[in-house]
Amino acid sequence: MTTPPRVDLVHTSPVVTTALRHELRSGPAPVRVDTTVHSWSDFRREWDFAGDVVVLHALLDDHVPLPLKIRALHRLGSVAVVLGPERESPFARRCGAQGAGAWIEPTNGLVATARTIRQVASGTVPEHARTAPAAPGQAELTDRELQVLCLFASARGHSPADLGRVLSLRTETVRSHLERGRARYRAFGRPTHDRAALRAALVEDGWLLDPVVWTAAARG
């Protein structure tokens, strides 16, 4: 007997995870739903690295940028499916370049979303969930540089000292990551002299979600 594919759910809304778990388990081609959590930190604590597909909310609000989450899952052999708006955005395209298997917009509805997740779990990505190819990044950045730059440029306005406490790094180390990352952009002629300029570069490259999307989702 063939073992059904396993799906893990990471979404900020308990209502969404409960409804999606029920639909995935009871649909015409049921799948296993083993892990259902509402934050990336909870997922990291509970995940046993066995999920075939990991469904991620695009608006998870934590200290790991979504493209880096997807990159980590891809390296470990799991396919990420993102639930979020703006499938044609640079952010969605960058996530696709990092290994996201599909991007499902909220307008698809519960039944259609579950059907698409099943299709991805079986190895097929429907056209409506595919992401367009990402443009080459303006700067080659390490995972840590990306994390520090994105958090620093976010709407919260973290200081290097704040980031050091959050990431368990010395403030001097955070400043070093910031300067190296900014220097990589400057080498391509992209100004990053202040937080707004850095944010614009990261949004254009698709590493950071456009703040307008957060505002539209009442999460700004």
Domains of the chain with bracketed CATH: 6-129 (3.40.50.2300), 143-216 (1.10.10)
Q: What is the mean pLDDT of each run of 10 residues along the chain (220 residues)?
A: 82 94 83 90 81 92 92 92 93 94 94 94 91 84 93 84 92 95 91 91 92 70
User: What is the pLDDT, as a whole number, of residue 47?
Assistant: 76
User: What is the pLDDT, as a whole number, of residue 4?
Assistant: 78
Nearest Cα to Cα of residue 72 among 148, 16, 144, 180: 144
d(CA 54, CA 7): 6
- pTM here is 0.90
Task: Name the packing angle between helices 195-205 and 143-153 (round to 10°).
Answer: 120
Spatial contact of 150 and 207, defined as CB atoms under 8 Å apart: yes
User: What is the pLDDT, as a whole number, of residue 29?
Assistant: 76
d(CA 40, CA 66): 10
Nearest Cα to Cα of residue 81 among 119, 45, 138, 135: 119
E-only strand ranges, the chain: 6-10, 32-37, 53-57, 79-83, 100-104
For residue 122, give the 3-state DSSP assignment: coil
Spatial contact of 94 and 134, defined as CB atoms under 8 Å apart: yes
d(CA 191, CA 198): 7
User: What is the pLDDT, as a whole number, of residue 50?
Assistant: 65
